[in-house]
Amino acid sequence: MKTITASTSRPYDIVIGQGILGQCGDVIQSLFPGGETVIVTDDNVEPLYLDILKRTLEEAGIGCVAFIIPNGEESKSMDIVEELLEFLAKRNVTRTDFITALGGGVVGDLAGFAAAAYLRGIPYIQIPTTLLAAVDSSVGGKTGVNLKSGKNLAGAFHQPSLVWCDYDTHKTMDPERYSDGIAEAIKCAVLKGEDFFSLLETENLYKHVEEVIENCIRLKLRIVSEDEFDTGRRQFLNLGHTIGHAIEARSGYEIPHGHAVACGMVAIADIAATNGLADFDCRDRIANLLKRYGLPTELPYPIEELTPYIENDKKRFGSTLRLIIPENIGHCRMVPIPVEEISSFFHI
Ligand SMILES: NC(=O)c1ccc[n+]([C@@H]2O[C@H](COP(=O)([O-])OP(=O)(O)OC[C@H]3O[C@@H](n4cnc5c(N)ncnc54)[C@H](O)[C@@H]3O)[C@@H](O)[C@H]2O)c1
Ligand SMILES: [Zn+2]
């Protein structure tokens, strides 16, 4: 078991370990003496892990009730936020109580957003049960839901009070969803540097899960501590995401996020090399590592079909897009590209 402290505006601990889900009660009790909790989870996770969590909380004297949402991205909606807020209000949840998010990124983003909004902010805890949530969404304090107009368009910055990551829970995941998390871990390795990247190249990730999660979280915390409110450095975490988001949107969200980001990372590394900003060796290493874990590396659509989506990327700053370019493993650069130059930069 390993504890990392996040030194954001309000510090919190991230605890990573194997088989630790049933041991969180006392730690949580010490954070919220006298508090009660609403556990938010989805209908896939509920039959697997809700009882284990409830037992440890009840043994520690923490009263709890569950709010169960249908699994899937559609649940990250304002309708479900409203239902959850009404649920909290009907149970007279107060500011000394807290929300516990037990699930993947959908549950974490939704529960965190409800926690940020209810009574103008109550605490929440993240218990990430997917690899993607463990390495990415549970840390950093970005919460939110999708609007009909687009993904993640409504949200709030709200840091959790604790992240409790039992990576044993990831063993029940669908392998395709698990590999979405691997793609994000590989992205972190490209950003972080040679030590982490070569660990993934030479060792079996499945035998080093704790180290992998720790590396990703440390990288994310370092970047977030420099840019809690996402105005600069944090955009490095978007490596592969500009093209990745376009692939997801072009596929009508049939292609999962991690798979789209995998293709997006190779594409941007290739474009960087073609423009003389990096060498092709960097692209090849990223592609080979993704392939090693069964992730796709070829663009599923011609790049000219993706540029209209890229030009509308919500992370655009005015008429300039900030692309994250991998120059080498551990060395990425933010390159501002005027929207009208995207096509020529992409060599279309
Ligand atoms: N807040 C952030 O910084 C941030 C960062 C990255 C991604 N996200 C968001 O995270 C979401 C994606 O997260 P995700 O990939 O975890 O998706 P998810 O929460 O939808 O989980 C994927 C699937 O796995 C199931 N599941 C979860 N845990 C399981 C387990 N232990 N065993 C079996 N099945 C399990 C879920 O029910 C779901 O069907 C997206 O909405 C994305 O926008 C947020
Ligand atoms: Zn991502």
Task: Mark residue 274 as left, alpha or beta (left: phi above 0; alpha: psi -120 to 50; beta: remaining).
Answer: alpha
Run of H or E including 144: strand 142-147
Q: What is the pLDDT of residue 316?
A: 61
Q: What is the pLDDT of residue 230?
A: 79
pLDDT in tens, 270-296: 999 999 999 899 999 999 999 999 999
The angle that helices 175-192 and 280-292 make with each other, rounded to 10 degrees, is: 150
**What is the distance between the alpha carbons of residues 22 and 79, in angstroms, rounded to a whole number?**
32
The whole-model pTM stands at 0.96
Structural domains of the chain in order of their starting residue, each with its CATH number:
2-172 (3.40.50.1970), 177-345 (1.20.1090.10)
Q: Is 73 in the pocket of ligand 1 (CB under 6 A)?
A: yes
DSSP conformation class of 77: B
Q: Is 177 in the pocket of ligand 1 (CB under 6 A)?
A: yes
Distance 206 CA to ligand 2 centre (A): 20
**Residue 187 in contact with residue 265, Cβ under 8 Å?**
yes
Q: Please give the torsion angle defined by the CA atoms of residues 27, 164, 7 and 151, in that order, rounded to the nearest 10 degrees.
A: -140
Q: Is 139 in the pocket of ligand 1 (CB under 6 A)?
A: no
Atom of ligand 1 nearest to the CA of 106: 19
Q: Which of 109, 127, 142, 253 to mutate to test the pocket of ligand 1 (most atoms within 8 A of CB)?
A: 109
**What distances in angstroms separate CA 169 from CA 156, 174, 175, one per listed residue?**
27, 12, 13
Q: What is the mean pLDDT of each run of 10 residues along the chain (348 residues)?
A: 92 98 98 98 98 98 98 97 98 98 98 98 98 97 93 95 98 96 98 97 95 98 86 90 95 95 98 93 97 97 93 72 94 92 87
What residue's CA is closest to ligand 1, atom 35? 173
Q: What is the pLDDT of residue 20?
A: 98
Q: Which of 44, 158, 180 to mutate to test the pocket of ligand 1 (most atoms within 8 A of CB)?
A: 44
Atom of ligand 1 nearest to the CA of 71: 37
